[in-house]
Amino acid sequence: MAPLGVLAAEAAKPSDGAEKAFIDSLLARMTLEEKLGQLNQPPGIGNDTGPKAKAAGTDQVRKGQVGSFLGMQGVKLTCDMQRIAVKESRLGIPLLFGFDVIHGYRTVFPVPLGEAASFNPVAVEKAARVGAVEATAHGINWTYAPMVDVARDPRWGRVVEGSGEDTYLGQVMAVARVRGFQGNDLRAADSVLATAKHFVAYGGAEAGRDYNTVDISERTLREVYLPPFHAAVDAGVGSIMASFNEIAGVPMHANGPLINGVLRGEWGFDGVLVSDYTGVMELMNHRIAADPAEAGRRALEAGVDIDMVSDIYRKDMPKAVRAGKLPVATVDDAVRRVLRAKYRLGLFDNPYRNCDESLEKSQTLTADHRDAARTMARESMVLLKNKGAVLPLSKQVRTLAVIGPLADNPRAMLGSWAGMGRPEDVVTPLAGIRAAVGPETKILYARGAEINTADTTGIAEAVRIAGQADAVLLMLGEAEDMSGEANNRTSLDLPGVQEQLALAVQKTGKPVAAVLFNGRPLSVNSLQEQVPSILEAWFPGVEAGHALADVLFGDYNPAGRLPITFPRNVGQVPIYYAHKNTGRPPREEERYSSKYLDVSWKPLYAFGHGLSYTSFRYDALRLSQEKIAADGTLQAEVTVTNTGDRAGDEVVQLYLRDDVASITRPVKQLRGFRRVHLQAGQSQTLTFTLTANDLAFYGADMKPVVEPGSFTVFAGGNSVDNLEAKFEVTAQ
C-alpha cells in the first residue's frame, strides 16, 4: 500500500484530472472485497434509527470491509476508528461518519417544517451551518439532510422533516440547507457532506402511511417532486439518499431509470447515492428479489452506491461478481463515487480533520448558536388568528395563567430527529414566560390534561386558575414522537382531551391565546371558532421558551407563513393550494360541483397564511411589459406598506398562472417571495423577475415548453388574497 503521505500529496491536488487520476490509481490497487467494503455501511455504536442491526467492529475496519458508519459520533470514538482505518487497513482509506443532523446537532433549531415557515432562506442556511459546525466538532463528516420531499398529506409523520407542500419553496430551502451544511469549501473542517433525501416522491405515499406505495404520473413526478432534488444537485449536494417507496411498480432502491437515468444522466450528478436504512434488503419485501444476492445485484445495477445496514454488498456480492451475475465495472463505478466523496472532503489529505477534542466543548451550544436558534424559532412562528388583539400581552399583566401539557415539557420542544439535543438544554415555554415578566406578575400553572389520554381530571384545576387570571395562555399540541418517521396519524385533531380543555378554559371569559406545538397541520376548527388568538409555534427547539416569550409579549412581531395547508378535517386531505381547477370547480350555489356536503372545500388556513401585530397594504402591481416572447423575461413590481403602528416583517409572495394551456395547469404556483422588514408607515417596492423557467411546463411530449397565451400574476401576503395583473406570451 502507498504510504499515507503519498496518498495525501496526491489528494491535495485540486484539479478534476488529479481527482480522477488519484481515484483510478487507488481503485486499481483494491481487491474485490475491499471495493465492496467501501460500499458497506454498518451501524455505529449507539445507532437507533431503524430495526436493530449488529454494529461492525474494528476487525472489519482493519480488513477494509467498512467504508462508512451510520450513527457513530464523538471525537474519541470516530477518530479511534479513523486511525484504525488509516493505519491498520491495507490501503489506509479513511472512513465517512454519517449522522442525522436534521435541524441541529446539540443546539436544536425548530423542526424543518417550522424553519420553512420563516420564508427566510438566509436564516435556514445559518441553522444548517450551526448544525455542521457542531456535528464536525463531534467527529461527523456526513449528514443525512436535508429532506427535500414535497409533502401534501399531513397524515404522513415525516411531513415535519421537510419544507411542506410547495415545490418552489422546497427548492429554495433545499439550496439554503445544502449551502449551510457544505459551506464554501467541503475540505473545511466545519463542513459536512449533505444528503438530499428521499429520492424520490416519498412524500406522495398513499394514505399518508410511511414506507407506502407511491402511484403518480410522470408529469407530477417531474413538475412536483423532482425539482427540489434538481435544485440540490445544482447547489452541489454531495450525496443523495434513495427512498423506501416504489413508483409505478419499481422500488426506488432498484430504480435505474430514475437514479442512473434522470439523476446521473440528465442532471449530471456525480456524488454518492446511499440507500436508506435496510432499503436494499427490503427489495425482498417488495417481492422483486428472491434473496439477498438478487436484492444487492438489482440495487447496485440501479446505481445505489452504499448499502446502509443490510450488509448485503459485503456478504453476498463477491460471489455474485465472481459468478458473472454482476459486472465488476458496476462495482467500480460505485466505488469511484464513494472515493470521490472522501477526496472532496479532503479526507485523504487530512483524515483527522475532525479530531480536535477541544472543539466538542468550545463549538457546542455556544451563546451565538443559542442566539441563532432563538432567532430562527421566533421567525418560524405563525400567528393564525388574533381577534381583539389579545396578543401581544403586556409584561405588566398582574396574573397570568399558563395551562397545558406542552407548557413545561422540555423534550417535546425538541421535536423529532433532535440530533444529540438534551431536554436539560431546553428553555420551556413556562420558563421563558417566567423569565420575561417582572416580579409583579404572578404566574399560575396547570397541566390541565396529558397530551394523548382520555383523562379529564385536570381540567377543573385548569379552569379554576384561569378564573383567577387576567389572561390565559394555552400550550397545546402533539408529543415529539407523534410526528416523524413511522409516526403517522389518521386524525389531525388535537390529541387526547386537549380541545375539551381549551374550550372549558375559554368559557371563563378571560382573554385566551392558544399556542400550538406540532410537527404537522392540525385541524383545530373549534379553536378557530371560539379561541380569540392562536399562534403556531411548531416544535421550536432549545430556545423555545425565550423565542415564544419574545412573540407573546411583543418584543418580536410574528411574521411566519404556513408552508403547508391546514385542513378543516382529515377528510379534506390531500389539500394544497396549487391544485388543478377541474371541469366543475366548487361553487356554493351549484350542487353538481367539486365540493363536500358537510364542510367547505376551502382550507382552515391556506398556504402562505400568517398574521402580524401590525397591518400591511399592497398597491400597484405593475408588469414591465404587456407582451413577452417565450424566452423573454418580465419584471413584476408591487408596493407594500406597513399601515399599522409598529414595525414588522411581511412575506411578500408572487404567484403565477398559465390561463389557458394544452395541458391542465394549477390554479396558481408560487414563483417568488421575499421577507422584508418595514417600520410603521414605511413603504417598499419589490421587484420579481419571471423567466422562461417560471412559465414552462411539460407538454404532451413530456418536454418543457412555454406556450403562447395569457398569464396572470398574483401578489400578496398569502396564496388567497392577491392583487392581479396579466401579460401575454407571443408566438415565436
Residues involved in catalysis: 276
Whole-number Å distance between alpha carbons of 344 and 340: 6
Question: Does the N-terminal peptide bond of residue 574 adopt cis geometry, omega within 30 degrees of 0?
Answer: yes
Q: With contact defined as beta carbons under 8 Å apart, do 28 and 38 qualify?
A: no
CA within 13 Å, CB half, 424: 0
Q: With contact defined as beta carbons under 8 Å apart, do 561 and 608 qualify?
A: yes
Of 231, 234, 229, 70, the residue nearest 242 (C-alpha):
229
Q: With contact defined as beta carbons under 8 Å apart, do 197 and 241 qualify?
A: yes
Under DSSP, the state recorded for 577 is S
Whole-number Å distance between alpha carbons of 663 and 646: 46
**678 — phi, psi (to 5°)?**
-130, 135
Whole-number Å distance between alpha carbons of 605 and 522: 10
User: In 242-281, which positions are buried (b, 16+ CB within 10 angstroms) versus exposed (e)?
Assistant: bbbbbbeebbbbbbeebbbebbbeeeebebbbbbbbbbbb
CA distances from 403 to 394, 461, 464 (A): 18, 10, 11
CA distances from 142 to 95, 146, 178 (A): 10, 11, 12
Q: Which residues make Cβ contacts (< 8 Å) with residue 324, sequence separation at least 6? A: none
Of 594, 603, 538, 534, the residue nearest 570 (C-alpha):
603
Percent of the chain as helix, strand, coil, to the nearest 5: 35, 20, 45
Q: Which residues make Cβ contacts (< 8 Å) with residue 731, sequence separation at least 6? A: 708
Of 701, 18, 67, 110, the residue nearest 426 (C-alpha):
110
Which stretches does DSSP call E strand in 606-708? 616-623, 627-628, 634-642, 648-658, 669-678, 683-690, 697-698, 704-705
Q: With contact defined as beta carbons under 8 Å apart, do 214 and 247 qualify?
A: yes
Whole-number Å distance between alpha carbons of 719 and 577: 7
Whole-number Å distance between alpha carbons of 338 and 459: 57
